[in-house]
A and B are shown apart, each in its own frame.
Chain A
């Protein structure tokens, strides 16, 4: 699964470089977050809505372990394209960071970082949007100890008037 997902997303990533380069990715704030869930009062001008929720891993027995909170904004671009930016924080509040990226249909590629570090890491995701429930569920891969780690995010979203 990981291999296929990686190949699939990498292929789309390469194919979409020309289109991506023409988009202005939103700048994301990297300040350490306080309070839970992760939130920010600043609404970027480019945002069409926001999203918030939790992210998790699956342990070896297949059970979900909630790791932290996510908050961000998204913008619907041209056609099936769009972009997003946001912040993440672990449940204990000891780690946080930012992320941003773009999406095409139900596939997303982007990057994330950790507050206090200069390093940035790629992330690739597939997601599904449930418009009636106004929810997004995303399965994404990030660099990890075994090459890549799979993470799960369950989000709800709003649409700005």
Chain B
């Protein structure tokens, strides 16, 4: 009787191993590679389509990959010059290998990248010689970040775009405007360098947008508000060397972030700071008919908050399913000494959310157990009080041994979920008997 029981369980273990392997890859994602083993891109939903490079089956054009992509997929583009007018009509992430070397060139006869779908990410490209570099049309939830956008007629154009983020781009030498939001609301423009355009940012009929921590330099005019552009908030930007005005506003907008946070740095501000609080004692008047003022002009250029350093994960790299292990984060220093928060991704689909606050430099501990064997990549990152995030720290953990006691429970759950396995088991039982 005992012998039969052992045999049954061995057979079921083989079946379970097969099913678990299948389910793990479905549930937790697969690390995709283009086949040349130079670069791989880890993701947890959707597929990755590769463009360029020398991997087998890679696409030769960005557009052909996008045409085959579905919502949630990633199109990864290897370094190279792509003479294309890319149209993105699905919610994908378009990722360049290297923003200096993954180049989309519009040949000055069309837009480089035209986005019509929601929730598109464009990250890591040089985007040049387009009529418009990145043209976003009637959509929301975009993230356009970390790109070099230069030598286009217009850098970024938004038409009826909402709730999108345009950050950390270098937008320069546009023949006309750097950024042109038209009838667009609730967008964020931050951390961009907007240099040497005719207009840096030209708002048209656009409300409730946020413009902060940008460097706006050498434009004919830095920012201008047109056609009932109201209730936009502009603060912590640095304005330098505009040929005419640093800003111009005929309407009603907010040009500071109250006291003591402050407003913007204006290189043509002539006021003084007798109380030495870093904020000018008299407002900076924004030219135009809107009677706008930066009430708290900064005496020195705004220095953006730096994110915490990428931490280090410490803890065991192997273990047993069901056993809880303790991990810690060190190297948790925030450059400004801000309070920090930690986020853990345990590699099995379980995440911690933001935990904290902790003091800068404090060792941070967290516990976790894995329910089944496998190889897991723990990831952790930090953020400070200003939501500046560090890079991801990573540690690979191998859970090599299963706990026998849990098999029966897991087996029962599997059989309930997959009736086909139940029948298979019944057949095996008959054969055995």
Contacts and interface: CB of A to CB of B under 8 A. Distances in A.
B182 interface: yes
Interface stretch (B129-137, B298-306, B312-320): B129-137
Contacts of B137: 61
B159 A137 contact: no
Contacts of B109: 66
Interface in A60-76: 60-64, 66
Contacts of A33: none
| SS of A interface (majority) | strand
A20 interface: no
Nearest to A3: B250
B175 A154 contact: yes
A99 to B, nearest CB: 19
A133 B132 CA distance: 19
A128 B243 CA distance: 11
A28 interface: no
A64 B132 contact: yes
A61 B159 contact: yes
A161 B4 CA distance: 100
Interface in A37-89: 56, 60-64, 66
A112 interface: no
A128 B158 CA distance: 24
Contacts, number: 53
Interface residues of B, number: 26
B370 interface: no
A106 B182 CA distance: 27
A1 B176 contact: no
Interface string A3-32: 010000000000000000000000000000
Given A62-B204, A128-B175, 17 more contacts: A4-B248, A56-B131, A61-B137, A62-B132, A62-B154, A62-B157, A62-B158, A62-B182, A63-B131, A63-B132, A64-B154, A137-B175, A137-B198, A139-B198, A152-B153, A154-B108, A154-B175
27 contacts: A1-B202, A1-B226, A1-B248, A4-B248, A60-B182, A61-B159, A62-B132, A62-B159, A62-B180, A63-B132, A64-B131, A64-B132, A64-B154, A106-B220, A126-B198, A126-B220, A128-B175, A128-B198, A133-B151, A137-B175, A137-B176, A139-B176, A139-B198, A152-B153, A152-B175, A152-B176, A154-B175
